[in-house]
Chains A and B, each alone.
Chain A
């Protein structure tokens, strides 16, 4: 679309760079809404990148211009598919973020309790009580590590 004899337009290359960079930065956040914005920016950046891969020129309609002056239609077709797919995935992610907010009061991705429990055992250099044949205090993950639940409560308190 935008690649002449001299190669792709610099403006578009920079646009791809900026979109991807901001998208990745937002993806590293913990709140699903920001991640969603990151996915949108990243998706647009990558779609522009695909467009850069084709030749630029006039609209590829038979009979309007000679074939050598036409733009490459294939990247445009691929981008069209990719845009639809990105759109669908974004919509699903938005639904997940909404559901998360509905259930837990915020859209932050929570810690995995089981994970932290294993880390804790490793830090204390102990084996799981299951290996010793008992049912010890690590039965209930919430009790072993109250931190995430407390953090959620605190955040809710701040909001009110």
Chain B
């Protein structure tokens, strides 16, 4: 019964996309189809997570072809956990965008393409999480990229085209590198099935193996916005519509991080590049957050904190101990939720005050107290103030770093603490300027009533962040279990190739 559920998170959004495209002239029906599709995905994802936690990875052979000939979809604990978080977040963002009236036919978006594209994006993300072979992972990436191209240039205004063209070119380049790596992997091993690769890559000469590993790492590093190749992100995310930026910030880079976790544990265990990963993780954290401190626009500032906090996850992967991986997975879950929430709040600020430029904002705490609360909780969560999940995630990673011993992990623990403090600085700077000081021109106009659905969806995500805090104990148990499975490799390989 359960294996039959595995393809649903990919198939349901794709069918929904087709339906919403047909229903382009029936906005109400279109909205219901989207919401229903994503709710189904969420329910299926939760069932899969429970099943994977209790009985190990759930595998489905597409069209009944046995692997390695056919394609497999694998929902192990890591993939299922990612599915649950990503579908919860996409559902909330969808409700938010419905509240905002996005997806309606308007002058800036003449065809109602928002809903179909959004659903295709979701299908791409879930396909990447479930992919059991490298080529299917590539296809997942391409699905989500193609959809994201449409969403980031939505409306085709001059500024969106400018930022969109940077994004499109960088994404295509990273896909080309991934594709080249795929070709080389196949040439070296004769397979792209990940479970089979796990065995065959071990037999390769170390030089060839390292070259393949680094090529894949570069491709995923660009997608995940790891430091030397992260400059494209703060340049392209902020101009898109708020819900689009929010879902990109929450999910797309994390798919890259997921791919790094998967390949570094399943295909290339042993930590040959651990030192390299630690150096880039440290640089990502520090350079990213220094960039955030200099920004004077809320959305740009949070794009920089997004880059910076990717560093924590890479640090956990670099440690490659069970504690490190568990911390990294926990941090991914936490960061997807919190970063999306912050961009949704930025969207609410834009709706309320007409701008997210800090120079124009002020006094929001007095004018819109609820908005202030919705900002304050996730901002402090991101900065890692106890007792929030941001603190627990960072604590888990730093403890794993201290347990690893050695100079480089110690330096990274220092960098992580510094980044946490600087995040607090950046977050409180936004708080002081936009919320705490006296009202400005942009904020002193007549009060605007924010649509209830927008506020509700944002509040739901803030609550989800708090639930992550309260349920951190059980969640850490799941991530530790997932990390143990990842380190052992046998549960995954045995489930795919019995």
Residues of B within 8 Å of A133, CB to CB, are 437
Bound complex: CA of A99 vs CA of B153, how far in Å?
10
A39 CA to B177 CA in the complex, in Å? 12
B274 at the interface (CB under 8 A from A): no
In the complex, the chain A residue whose C-beta lies closest to that of B153 is A96
Task: Point out the residue from B158, B176, B183, B294 that lies within 8 Å of A121, measured CB to CB.
Answer: B294
Question: Given the known A-B contacts A118-B294, A135-B359, are A49 and B183 also in contact in the complex, defined by CB atoms under 8 Å?
Answer: yes
Could you give, for residues 165-177 of chain B, a 1 whenever the CB lies within 8 Å of some chain A CB and a 0 otherwise? 1101100110110
Residues in A whose Cβ lies below 8 Å from that of B1: none
Bound Cα distance from A112 to B139, whole angstroms? 31
Of B25-33, B194-202, B295-303, B402-410, the one with at least 4 CB within 8 A of chain A: B295-303
B186's partner among A74, A109, A138 (CB-CB below 8 A) is A74
Given contacts A89-B172, A130-B358, A138-B359, contact A114 B297 (CB under 8 A): yes
Contact A109 B162 (CB under 8 A): yes
- B151-199 contacts to A, CB under 8 A, are 153, 156-158, 161-166, 168-169, 172-173, 175-176, 179-180, 182-184, 186-187, 192
Contact sample, A vs B, 29 pairs, CB 8 Å cutoff? A39-B169, A46-B179, A47-B179, A49-B180, A50-B183, A53-B187, A54-B187, A75-B183, A78-B192, A81-B135, A89-B146, A89-B149, A92-B168, A93-B165, A93-B169, A96-B165, A100-B158, A100-B162, A100-B165, A103-B158, A109-B162, A112-B163, A114-B295, A114-B297, A128-B359, A130-B296, A135-B440, A135-B441, A138-B296
Q: List A contacts of B139 (CB < 8 A).
A: 81, 85
A110 within 8 Å of B (CB atoms): yes
Check B209 for interface membership: any CB of A closer than 8 A. no
Can you name the residue of chain A whose Cβ is closest to the Cβ of B167?
A96
Q: Which of A62-100 contact B (CB under 8 A)?
A: 74-75, 78, 81-82, 85, 88-89, 92-93, 96-97, 99-100
**Are the C-beta atoms of A131 and B429 separated by less than 8 Å?**
yes
Given A92-B149, A100-B162: A135 in contact with B360 (beta carbons within 8 A): yes
Q: Which residues of B contact A130 (CB under 8 A)?
A: 296, 358-359, 433
Contacts of B166 in A (CB 8 A): 109
Query: Taking beta carbons and an 8 Å cutoff, which residues of B are in contact with A?
Result: 135, 139, 142, 145-146, 149-150, 153, 156-158, 161-166, 168-169, 172-173, 175-176, 179-180, 182-184, 186-187, 192, 235, 294-297, 300, 358-360, 429, 433, 437, 440-441
Question: When chains A and B are docked, how far (Å) is the Cα of A27 from the Cα of B150?
Answer: 21
Contact B433 A50 (CB under 8 A): no
A103 to chain B, nearest CB (A): 5
Residues in A neighbouring B183, C-beta threshold 8 A: 46, 49-50, 52-53, 75, 78
A96–B182 alpha-carbon span in the complex (Å): 28
- A115 is an interface residue with CB less than 8 A from chain B: yes
Interface of A is mostly: helix
A78-B184 Cα distance, complex, nearest whole Å: 13
Q: Is the CB of A100 within 8 A of B146?
A: no
Question: Interface on A for B, CB 8 Å cutoff?
Answer: 27, 32, 35, 39, 42-43, 46-47, 49-50, 52-54, 74-75, 78, 81-82, 85, 88-89, 92-93, 96-97, 99-100, 103-104, 109-110, 112, 114-115, 118, 121-122, 128-131, 133, 135-136, 138-139
Interchain residue pairs A-B with the least CB separation, the first 7: A53-B187, A50-B183, A130-B358, A128-B296, A130-B359, A53-B186, A103-B158
With A32-B165, A109-B162, A122-B294 known as contacts, the answer to whether A75 contacts B153 (CB < 8 A) is no
Chain A CB count within 10 A is highest, among B182, B192, B359, for B359
Give 8 new A-B contacts, CB below 8 A, not counting A50-B182, A92-B168. A39-B172, A49-B184, A99-B153, A100-B161, A130-B358, A130-B359, A135-B359, A139-B360
Kindly list chain A residues whose C-beta atoms are within 8 Å of the C-beta of B164. Answer: 96
Smallest CB gap from B69: residue in A: A74
Which of A82, A109, A121, A138 contacts B165, CB < 8 Å? A109
Most buried by A among B161, B169, B429: B161
Provide the bound-state CA to CA distance between A92 and B161, in Å. Answer: 12
**Across the interface, do A78 and B165 meet the contact criterion of CB distance under 8 Å?**
no
Given contacts A121-B294, A130-B359, A135-B440, whether A78 and B186 have CB atoms under 8 Å apart is yes
**Complex: A110 Cα to B378 Cα, angstroms:** 34
CB nearest neighbor in B for A77: B135
Given that A128-B359, A133-B437 are known contacts, is A92 also in contact with B135, CB under 8 Å in the complex? no
Whether A27 pairs with B146 at a CB distance below 8 angstroms is no
Instruction: Determine if A27 and B169 form an interchain contact, defined as CB atoms under 8 angstroms apart.
Output: yes
Q: How far is the CB of B219 from chain A (nearest CB, A)?
A: 11
Residues in A neighbouring B187, C-beta threshold 8 A: 52-54
What is the chain B residue whose CB lies nearest that of A93? Answer: B168
CA distance A106 to B122 in the complex (A): 34
Distance between Cα atoms of A41 and B10 in the complex (Å)? 32
B184 contact set on A, CB distance < 8 A: 49, 53
B186 — nearest CB in chain A belongs to which residue? A53
* Cβ contacts under 8 Å, B300 to chain A: 114
Q: How far is the CB of B46 from chain A (nearest CB, A)?
A: 32
Task: For A112, list chain B residues within 8 Å (CB).
Answer: 162-163, 235
Q: Which residues of A contact B162 (CB under 8 A)?
A: 100, 109-110, 112
Q: How distant is B304 from chain A, measured CB to nearest CB, in Å?
A: 11
How many Å lie between the Cα of A46 and that of B173 in the bound state? 11
Q: With A93-B169, A130-B296 given, is the CB distance from A42 to B176 under 8 Å?
A: yes
